[in-house]
Chain A
Amino acid sequence: MSEAYQPARILNQGSTQEKAEGARLSNFVGAIALSDLISTTLGPKGMDKILQSPSNLLDSTITNDGATILSSIQISNPAAKILIEISKVQDDEIGDGTTSVVVLAGELLKEAEKLIHKRIHPQTIIKGFRLAKNIALKKLKEIAQDHSENEEDLKKYLKKIAMTIFSTKILTPYKSIFADLAVESILRLKGSTNLESIQILKKTGGLLKESYIEEGFVLDKKLGVGQPKRIENAKILVANTSMDYDKIKIFGSRVVVNSSSKLAEIEEEEKKKMLRKCQKIVDHGINVFINRQLIYNLPEQFFTDHGVVSIEHADFAGIERLSLVTGGEIVSTFDHPELVTLGTAKVIEEIMIGEDKLIRFSGCKEPSACTIILRGSSKQILDEAERSLHDGLAVLSQMVKNPKTVLGAGCTEIIMAQAIEEAAKETSGKIQIAMEAFARALTRIPIIIANNAGYDAEQLVSELKTSHYKGNTTFGVDVMNGKVCDVQELGIIESFLVKKGMLLKASEATEMILRVDHIMYSAPRQRGMN
């Protein structure tokens, strides 16, 4: 036979493709494997994972945060990549629910796979899923409770939400302490979602429960040598200027000298220039000078002599926060002291945390500032605690904007699932099967949570379902005791936004993966060619 009758190869060498069933299978397998991998971390009794970095074997992270786990595993399966992406977006947007969103998407795909085996077209499944999603969303909006009116109430609910979030993390034993910490720092923000003004400082040593909120702002830096350790009524100049070697920024200039005496002269002039700059700075009438860049000995000496405390090398984020907190602007030129807004603080002092010296600014202009100091016995614990705290803070900050809550402990999922089942009864055709599948996938979430806690999950969840049918729509799974009980009494409350994000993102990703019937892989880029 001549070549003309062989199937035509049209792609580049090294490129591969998967078609129809093969493509679908590879998508399902990849996505489901990923969601199975992460599903064991779900819920209050979920397990943690150790992530080891490929370059440095000693550098490992222990975490239970979905987004962190997913972002550090290397994956080539395209469908799994889509799931990782949604978890990342959930993290960016809301901060929590990063695991649930992937688990739900995985469960939806599992159900969809079964339907495809029954020869239901993917587009029909998508149609059913969409319908189901809309019903679930409508129900979710219905059952969400709005707490925007009563401030006291809001605070109470915020704490409950924070406790629910922390109960799935390393902070569980001290969730009450941390919930208080988080709520307090969020309320200080007064509705802004700018988490930057909450600083989290990690100091090894001590126990997690010794973590506390520090009034004002703590900078992890040292005061200049020989300068007072406590300054009251500080006037602060926050600057970003070079205080080491102040080069003249004119292109192509260089110093040419023909004798050492001239060199000395130039050097002298350079020093004078620096001192003039220092003098200008001192002329602002300040007693504290904070620079982003290094401060060399000469200017430091000058400042000490003039009774100005100098702090060097506050990094960029530190400087921005400081300027935010003290109300001073970041200054780079010093010719017009009258135009510069100085920052203020009642007391600046050096404090000790563990064995480290830190600088505390208290009584600042911007009362929203605060620093949470985390203590813990190892770096890994501290890192994980910080991640958990950040999740909590992120959710709370969104909550203040949109103070709606739903019940946790699998209660909401069951309500949504039952609403879908109810609606499915009235829908005829294959779509009905898809809707029922969606409801089943939602029910899987409480099952996984109960499973992770080591209970007879199917039993528990079916009990839960029955009690919902009986009209006890506030019931959920109490994972601590392995019983079905009233969630409202337990106080397990979650943010509406987290649940909404989970529902929408998971179904969007599922739809995206279901729509695919062909995968084309380009040949991997040749490495080390040049």
Chain B
Amino acid sequence: MLRFDSSGKPFIIIRDQDQKERLTGSEARKANILAAMTVANLMKTSIGPLGMDKILVDQDGEVTATNDGATILKNMQVENPIAKLLVELSQGQDDEIGDGTTSVVVLAGALLEESLSLLEKGIHPSKISEGYEKACDIAVKHLLKICDKIEFDKENCGSLVKAAKTSLGSKIVNQYTEKIAKISVEAVLAVADLERKDVRFDLIKLEGKTGGTLGDTELIDGIIIPKNFSHPQMPKQIKNAKIAILTCPFEPPKPKTGHKLDIDSVKKYKELLEIEQNYFKEMTDLVKKSGATLVLCQWGFDDEANHLLLQKKLPAVRWVSGTDIELIAIATGARIVPRFSELTEKKLGKAGMVIEKSIGTTDEKMIVIEKCSNTKTVTILVKGGNKMVVEEGKRSIHDALCVTRNLIKDNRIVYGGGAAEISCSVAVNKASKENTGVEQYSIRAFSQALLSVPIALASNSGLNSLEAVSEIQLKQMEKESSFLGIDCLSKGTNNMKEQYVFDTLRGKIQEFLLATQMAKMILKIDDIIRPTGQY
């Protein structure tokens, strides 16, 4: 790019122009919108209880089969910058809410698609943005108006289970929704603090195991670590265990400063031997003295130390991972001890039962720590016929956990099955008439875009999508009822209240806001510069 300064000398703004590709103005915008639409279209078929899955083959040929929007986008290896933005959008929804990761991308794609025709009419992108902003405001306000509250407490969590079921409905686990939804809700309630409306997710551990079917998934009141006892003859079951958690190895110390210990006489040799022997004795003695009945260690053991532990009747587990150690420490109330000398009785954790279990015909063992003194830790053991099912099961359960958590934080809900979107669309459309000028067009476009999710839902369910959606629109307007949605599973009623299909209000609002924000951001781009040859 060349410009001339006041004295007429050429002035280079972008270097090596011939090596860069550049799109400007409306062309740039169209390219961006097209890219975003491609991603959105890709995701559309995954929406709803009858949505389809995708297989992702990674660099090493490993296979992942999933229906989770965030996972698909994350593993897709996207290159296009706009597509990357959408990946982040879905990631944002995943981090914040944990559910609705597909819908948010589809909605953003639809907003951009609508804007394409507005651009062709010659409306300035920032005007479109303003209109979207306003429309989004209206939609969110409308959501707040139509939202419903669900009631629950620790004993009576039926409504939570139903919400979790909606989230699980679109995944491969939907055969066992009832059971898995229950497990998810129980898990969340076990760690939830209903007073403070807070859920500590790090206290729920998801452990996967192949074998059995997804229906064999179970909730364990305690922690599972995929390890076994360090010596085969240690007891496989410990009652009322007092647990010492160590982050130092059962080995002679290795000072970090470089040093050499020179042995030049027999006497010194003997001394050294004695020191070595004492190290092991001291270590095990210190542990025994603290009153511990189980040792969990982040590092390895020397053979001799291992045997001494056996002799002292101290069952031990080695190479326990850092995250497990932390979880166990929280659950049992133990302190993580970095040095043997600092081990005292106060720092031990307590658990009612520790058992080593083996599964199937292979030699895989796991240690279950149950009845921890701080009972607020649970593990969901996900089972399934193969690795991919287990992985997908874990992802689905994570989503269900998120939904439940969100409801505990904020018990307001809106109805699913596209009901909320359609209702908002109607409201936004109505509101558009109160605006004059260009904005009216963009607000109306927003109302059209909102319908994209219900349309995708209906077409995935094998319905005549436009017909189904317009029918519901009409019904909603006639009856002023915001709980009519798409009857995906052909249950014979459009009443989502009766079908118990609902989403969290927070999730829905977040979805609208994020999608609008993303659409605005992409609309604002009017120049793409990139090196050639990398397309």
Contact = CB atoms under 8 A, between A and B. Distances in A.
B102 to A, nearest CB: 13
Contacts of A518: 42, 45, 52, 54-55
Given A398-B361, A516-B55, A521-B57, A4 B231 contact: no
Interface residues of B, number: 90
Given A12-B78, A12-B79, A92-B361, A333 B53 contact: no
A183 interface: no
Interface string B206-230: 0000111110000000000000000
B282 to A, nearest CB: 13
Contacts, number: 250
Contact of B264 (A27, A256, A320, A329): A256
A255 B276 contact: no
A519 B60 CA distance: 15
A123 B387 CA distance: 22
Nearest to A101: B385
Given A121-B462, A266-B269, A323 B232 contact: yes
B175 A82 contact: no
Contacts of A520: 54-57, 72, 75-77
A8 B80 CA distance: 8
Interface in B13-55: 23, 27-28, 30-31, 34-35, 37-39, 42, 45, 50, 52-55
B253 interface: yes
B52 A509 contact: no
B172 interface: yes
Interface centre among A85, A94, A333, A336 (most CB of B within 10 A): A333
A265 interface: yes
Given A9-B535, A10-B80, A93-B211, A254 B263 contact: yes
Grouping DSSP codes into helix (H, G, I), strand (E, B) and loop, the B interface class, with mixed when no group exceeds half, is mixed
Interface string A472-509: 00000000000000000000000000000000110011
Interface centre among A122, A340, A511, A515 (most CB of B within 10 A): A515
B269 A269 contact: yes
A4 B361 contact: no
Contacts of A511: 172
A258 interface: yes
A49 B475 CA distance: 64
Given A254-B260, A323-B232, A329 B310 contact: yes
A508 B30 contact: no
A423 B499 CA distance: 27
Interface in A61-99: 76, 78-79, 81-82, 85-86, 88-89, 92-95
Contact of A256 (B72, B263, B280): B263
Interface in B252-281: 252-255, 258-266, 269-270, 272-273, 275-276, 279-280
Minimum-distance CB pairs A-B, first 6: A332-B307, A517-B52, A10-B83, A8-B35, A253-B261, A85-B386
22 contacts: A12-B77, A15-B77, A20-B45, A124-B462, A251-B252, A251-B254, A252-B261, A257-B264, A258-B264, A262-B265, A266-B263, A270-B269, A273-B273, A333-B280, A339-B311, A512-B65, A512-B388, A516-B54, A517-B54, A519-B57, A520-B54, A522-B58
Given A323-B233, A521-B57, A523-B77, 19 more contacts: A8-B31, A11-B79, A27-B55, A76-B61, A81-B63, A86-B386, A88-B386, A92-B211, A248-B273, A248-B276, A252-B261, A266-B265, A332-B308, A505-B386, A511-B172, A512-B65, A519-B57, A520-B55, A525-B59
Interface of B: 23, 27-28, 30-31, 34-35, 37-39, 42, 45, 50, 52-61, 63, 65, 67, 72, 75-80, 82-83, 172, 175, 210-214, 231-233, 251-255, 258-266, 269-270, 272-273, 275-276, 279-280, 302-304, 306-308, 310-311, 358, 360-363, 384-389, 392, 462, 534-535
Interface of A: 2-5, 7-13, 15, 20, 23, 27, 76, 78-79, 81-82, 85-86, 88-89, 92-95, 121-124, 130, 193-196, 240-241, 248-258, 262, 265-266, 268-270, 273, 320, 323-324, 329-333, 336, 339-340, 394, 397-398, 504-505, 508-509, 511-512, 515-525
